[in-house]
Structure 1
Amino acid sequence: MTRKFQLLAASACLFALSACVTADQAPVQTASAMAETPSAVASGSRESPAEAGKRLHGLFKASDEANLRRNPLSALFRGDYRYADQLGDFLTDAYTQAERKAAQDDLARLAAIDRASLSPTDRIAYDVFKRDQELTLRSLSPEILPLTEVRPIDHFFGFHTFYPDLASGQGAAPFKTAADYENNLKRHHQYARLVDRAIGRFREGMASGVVQPKLVVRNIIDQLNIQINQGVEGATLYGPVKKFPDAVPAADQTRLRAAHAAVIRDEIRPALIRLRDFLKNEYLPVAREGEGLVHMKGGPQLYRFLIEQNTTLPLDADTVHNLGLSEVRRIRSEMEEIKNKVGFKGTLAQFFEHIRTDPKFKPQSKEWLAERYYAVGRQVDTRIGELFSTLPKSKLEIRPVPAYREKTDAGGSYQGGTPDGSRPGVFYYNTYDLPSRTTPGIETLYLHEGAPGHHFQISLAQENEALPNFMRFGGNTAFAEGWALYAETLWDELGMMTDPYQRYGGLDDEMLRAMRLVVDTGIHAKGWTRDQAIKYMLENSAMGRTDATAEVERYIAIPGQALAYKVGQLKILELRARAEKALGPRFDIRGFHEQVLMTGALPLTVLERKVDDWIASQRA
C-alpha cells in the first residue's frame, strides 16, 4: 500500500501513501488570473511545444504545491518536512470544499493550454492530469460524497490504524531532532480531534441511513480494543520516546517523554475509547446486516463508480464477474497439471486440502519464514538486470507486519520509501496464526509486493525527476496492482518457481486475483454473503480459512479495489503480446518495461496509447 496511493475519497485520501521530495515551489495562479491571459487556441496562434510544455509544467508545480499544503501528510511521506507539524483538516466540510475548488481551478487552467501544441510525453501528462481532476470532482459530487464521507473509517483503511504506523518511530515521520518530537506532539493533539470528527461523520450516516456493515464495525472495535489495551507506555505511539537519538539533549528527552505520555494518556486514549464506545453502543445496533453495497442506500450507484475508478475502464459488474469466472476455469486447469506432475492421487479439492494441512507446507517458525524471504530476494537480484535497464535507487527491506495490526492485515504488503534512498521501501510479510499459513506462494508474494512488483513501480516513478509530481507520486490501482500481478508472471524469466509447489503457489496467488473478480462483484452486486464468498475461495484454491476470511472481509470494507489487479494485469499482458507480435525479433523486454514503468501509474487507456506509439516508433 500501500502504498501507498490515491484511495476512495475524503478520509481515504488522507492516507494515500505517496512519497518523495516536492518540486520547487511555484506561485499558485488563480483561475481568474489565468482567464486574463488568452490561450493559444483563443488567439488563433499555436504555441511551440516548449512554450506549451512550460505552461503545463508550471500548472503541475502550482497544483502540486497547493496540494501539499492541503494534504501535509503527502509531503511528509515524500520526505518534505515543511508541514511536518500538521496532520491536515480532514473530515471537515472546509477540507472537502478546498479539494473540490482545487480540482475545478486546475481544470480551468488546463483548458487554457492547447493540448495539440504539446510534445507527445506532455500530452500523456495532460491526459492523466485531466482525468485525475475529473475523477476527484466525481468522488466529491453530491451523488457520491454522501455515500463515502459518512463512513470515514473501516478495518482496512482508516486513520486509527494508519496513524500509529506513521508515529511509531518506524514509519514515515522523522525522529532525529527535538523539533521532530515537537512536531509529533502537535500531530498527536490534532489526531485526537480527528478521532472525534470521525464520530460526527458516523452520526451523519446514521441520520441519512448510509452506514457500515456490522462486520466492519466489529472489526474496527477489535482494532481499537487492541490499541486501548496497550496502555500508555505500551502504546505503539509511545515507541519514539523509548529510545532517543543522540542529537536530542538529555533534558529535552525527559520533557518530551513526559509530554508524549501525557498526550497519549489524556487525549488520544480517551478519544479512542469514545470512538470505541460510540461504535459499540450506538452505531453497531443500527449498522447494516448485509455486507455488500447492494444492501446499502445508494450502494449500487456507488459500486458502479468504484468499478470505473479502480479499473480505469468503463466496465459493469456482470462483465467483471464473467471475466473472473473464465479466469478461474483457466487457472484450475493449470493447477490440475501441477497436481498430476507431483503425482498426487485425488481430486483438485483434495489437493487443496493437502496443501492446507500437510505439515511440510507450514512455516517452521517466524525466523524460518523471514530467512526464506531473504533467500528469495537474493535470488531475484541475480537475474533482475536481464529484464530491467533501470533499477530503483531505494533499497528494499523485508519486515514482519507489526503485531498490533497483523490479525486483519493481508499476507503481504508494501510501503514505499523516499526517492533519495533515505528511507527504504519495505515488503511486509504476515506471521499471524502461523499454523494456518502455507509456504507455496512465498516466491510469488515477494515478486508482487517487492521486486520487481510494487517496489520497482513505485520507486522508479518517484525517482524520475523529469516527471511532474502528480505522476511521480499519484496513480491508480489498476496500473499499480496490475503491474505487481504482471510481475508475478516474470517468474520463469527470473529463474523462479523451479519447485512445482512454488509454481502451484504462483497459480494459487493468480487464482486469488481471479476469484476477486467473482467475489467482489458477488458481494456488492449480487448479494453474496460473507460465508458464501469464503466458501467459494476455499473451493477454488488452497488458501487457509484465516487468509480467505481476511480477504473477503477486505472486499467488504473497500469495494471495487480488488478488481483492479486482474484487470490491470490482463491489459499489460495484452500489450506485451501485441508488441512481441508486431516487433518479432526486434522486441526488447527491457525496452517494453521502460515504456510501462517510467511515466508513473497511467490509466490503462493512456498506457495502451503509449505502448502503441512505442511499437510504431520501433517499426519505423
Structure 2
Amino acid sequence: MAISARTCWLFVLGLGCLPLDALGGDPDSRQAKRLETTRQLSLLIDNEWDWRLREQPTFAAYLGDRRHNSRWPDVSLKAINRRHGHRRAVLKQLAAIDRNILAPGDRLNYDLFRRQYAVSVESHAHRWFLVPLTARDGIQDASSTADVIRFEQVEDYRQWLARLRSFREYMEQTIALMQVGLKERRVHDREVMVRVPAQIARQIVDDPRKSLFYKPFRSFPESVSLSDREKLRGEAVQAISDVVVPAYRHFLKFFNDSYLPGCFPRAGVWQMPRGKEFYAFRCRRFTTTDLTPSQIHDIGKREVKRIRGEMEKVIRQTKFDGSFREFLDFMRTDPRFYYKNAEDLLAAYREVTKRIDPHLVRLFRRLPRIPYGVEAIPMHLAPDTTTAYYRPPSADGLRAGTYFVNLYRPEVRPKYEIEALSLHEAVPGHHLQISLAMELENVPPFRRFGGYTAFIEGWGLYSESLGEELGLYKDPYSKFGQLTYEMWRAVRLVVDTGMHYDGWTRKQAIAFFAENTAKTLFDIENEIDRYIAWPGQALAYKIGELKIQELRRLSEKTLGDKFDVREFHEVVLSRGAVTLDLLEEQVREWLRDQGP
C-alpha cells in the first residue's frame, strides 16, 4: 500500500529529532539515512495495519471500514498459527530497523508497535485462543456485528448476506477450537458457562424474520429500491433458515452434550496446564507492569482498607445508626435509591451526562469533536452483562460514541452509582479519552484506534475521582456511590488474583465483594463471572488509576502554585493510550521542561 505521508514525516512535524552528528557521516548522508529508516518503519506499520483489518474483518467493521464486510474472521487453527508466524516475522523485520536513528515520535511508534506484537507472540504460547467464547461474548452473539455496520446501499446488505451464507464454516471453526480446548484442558468453569445455552437458544428461531441476524432487513434507506428490498429479504430468510439456525442447533447440542460437562467444576485458570504461569503473563499484559499476582493481591488489600476508612467517614456524615454491614444493606435495599421503571432510569443517566458536559472546560484544554449518546443495552444481552459499557465512534466519525446502560431490573440499579458510572464511561472518561486519541494528528492508526487497558481503564477510574471538581457528589449518598465504585475496583485486585492464582472459589469471591461494597448481589455475581471469564483484565483499572493519581500528586508537589490541572490532563492524554511506564516518562519529561 502507499506510504502514509503523515506517518512517514513525523520528525518534520515538531516531534523532535536526534542531533545529526550523532548519526555519523556527512550531514547529507545522515539526513538521508534518517529519512530512509523512518520510511521503512512507516511502511511496516502501515502495511501491518492493513493486514490486521484483513485478518480481523469484524474489527474493521467496528471502525467503519467496509472493505471486509462480507467475511467472518478465519479462526481455524491453521489461520491462527499462520498469524502467529507472521507476527514473529514482523518482529524480525522490526529488529532490523535502527531504532536509535529515529526521531522521538517515531521511537515511540517503534516501541509501542514492538510491544504489541511481542505480547501477541508470547500470548500464543499459552493457547488461550482455544477458549473462543465466554458467557459475555462469543459466536452466540455474532448477530451484534450488524449493529456497527452502516447499511446504506444494496452492497452493504449483500455483504451481510455473504456473511450469513458462510456462517456454518465460522461455527465449525469455533467448535473445532473448543474441541481441542477440551482435550488440552483449556476451558472455563461450569458455574459461569451454564449461562451460555440460553444465549445460543435465543438464536434458534422458527421464523427467520424474528432472528437477530435479520435486523438489518427490517428497514431500508431510500437508496434501496422496493424490488431490491423484497429480494434481499427473501435471500436473508433463506440464509437464516438454511444456514444460521441449523448451525446454532448443532452448536447447542455440542455445547450441552460435550463442552459444558468438560468445563472445570470451579473457577480459576490455575487449573489449566501452566495455568499460574499464564495468569502471571495476563497480569503483566493488562497492567503493563512487572507486578506479580501476589503483589497485586496485596495492593488490593491495602486499597480496600484505605477506601473502607473513607467510606466510614461518609457514613458518619449521614448520621446512620448502625454498623458498616448494616449501612451496605440499607443502601442495597431502601426503595428511595432505586427507580421503578427503565424509562426513568435511562432519563436519569441522560440527565447526569448533560449536567457534566458544560463543566468539562474547567479541567480540559481540548474536548472531542465527536459527540456521544446514551442508549440502553439490548435486552437480549442485558441479563448477562455488566452495568454499563462504552462503544467508541467509527473511525470516520459518522457513528457517534455510545454509552450503553443496563436497564434490566431497575430495582437493582441504584441511583447513587449513576454519577460515578457516567464519569467513567462517558465524559471525562472513555468517550473523552478515546475520541481525543482518535483525533490525534500525525499518529499511526494502531495508536489512534487501539491502546493499553491499564491506561484506558485507569483513566476511566481516575475520571470518577473528578466528580467533585465537576460539580457532582453533592450529597453523601452519591459520594458513597463513588467510593463504592473505587472499592469495587480495589476488590477486583483481590478477587481476580484470588480466583485465578490462589484457588479461591466463586463463592469466596462473591462474599468478599459483598462484604466491602454496596453493590447489589445481582451485580456482584455478574461482575465475578466477568472476572472468571476474562482473567487479569479487571486488574488494569486500579493499577492504571493508581499510577495516574501518583503522577498528579508528583506534578502538584513539583509545580506548587504553578500546577494547572488542565495542562496536566493535556500531557496525560496527548499521546493516546500508552503503557504506564511510557506515561510516567512523558509526565516527568513535561515536569523537567517546566523548569525550577
Kindly tell me the number of residue pairs found equivalent between the two proteins. Answer: 578
Counterpart pick for 1:109 among 67, 89, 93: 93
Partner of 2:71: 86
Counterpart pick for 1:488 among 447, 450, 464: 464
Separation of aligned partners in 1, 2:566 and 2:354: 21
* 1:511-590 alignment runs, 5 A limit: 511-590=487-566
SS at match of 1:233: helix
**Distance apart, 1:114 and its partner CA:** 2.3
**Distance apart, 1:206 and its partner CA:** 2.0
* 1:256-295 alignment runs, 5 A limit: 256-295=232-271
* 1:106-505 alignment runs, 5 A limit: 106-141=90-125, 144-145=126-127, 148-161=128-141, 163-167=142-146, 171-228=147-204, 231-505=207-481
Separation of aligned partners in 2, 1:276 and 1:199: 11
Deviation per residue, 1:351-380 (Å, 9 max, x gap) = 000011100011232111111111111111
1:65 aligns with 2:50: yes
**Distance apart, 1:42 and its partner CA:** 11
The amino acid that maps onto 1:111 is A
Separation of aligned partners in 2, 1:216 and 1:346: 35
**Distance apart, 1:420 and its partner CA:** 3.5
Separation of aligned partners in 2, 1:229 and 1:349: 46
User: 2:73, 2:170 within 8 Å by CA — same for their partners in 1?
Assistant: no
With over 3 angstroms needed to count, the CA separation of the structure-2 counterparts of 1:41 and 1:291, relative to structure 1, is farther
Normalising by structure 1, report the TM-score.
0.89
**Distance apart, 1:182 and its partner CA:** 0.2
**Distance apart, 1:125 and its partner CA:** 1.6
The amino acid that maps onto 2:48 is S
The amino acid that maps onto 1:509 is Y
The amino acid that maps onto 1:149 is F
Partner of 1:99: 83
Separation of aligned partners in 2, 1:50 and 1:414: 40
Moved more, 152-161 or 468-477: 152-161
The amino acid that maps onto 2:184 is S
**Distance apart, 1:562 and its partner CA:** 0.5
Separation of aligned partners in 2, 1:95 and 1:606: 33
Moved more, 148-157 or 310-319: 148-157
Separation of aligned partners in 1, 2:166 and 2:558: 56
The amino acid that maps onto 2:347 is E
The amino acid that maps onto 1:435 is E
**Distance apart, 1:26 and its partner CA:** 11
SS at match of 1:397: strand
The amino acid that maps onto 1:183 is Q
Separation of aligned partners in 1, 2:164 and 2:25: 53
User: 2:332, 2:520 within 8 Å by CA — same for their partners in 1?
Assistant: yes
Deviation per residue, 1:296-354 (Å, 9 max, x gap) = 33321211111111111111111111111111111111111111101111011100000
SS at match of 1:414: strand
Partner of 2:18: none
Separation of aligned partners in 2, 1:58 and 1:64: 10
SS at match of 1:413: strand
Separation of aligned partners in 1, 2:37 and 2:424: 38
SS at match of 2:594: helix
Separation of aligned partners in 1, 2:358 and 2:467: 13
SS at match of 2:538: helix
Deviation per residue, 1:475-511 (Å, 9 max, x gap) = 1211111110011111111111112211111000111
Higher relative contact order (CA 8 A, sep 6+): 1
With over 3 angstroms needed to count, the CA separation of the structure-2 counterparts of 1:258 and 1:103, relative to structure 1, is same
SS at match of 2:194: helix
Q: Please, which runs of 5 or more residues in structure 1 have no aligned partner?
A: 1-21, 28-39
After superposition, the CA RMSD in angstroms is 2.2
Q: Percent identity?
A: 36
User: 1:393, 1:419 within 8 Å by CA — same for their partners in 2?
Assistant: no
**Distance apart, 1:49 and its partner CA:** 5.5
Separation of aligned partners in 2, 1:60 and 1:150: 28
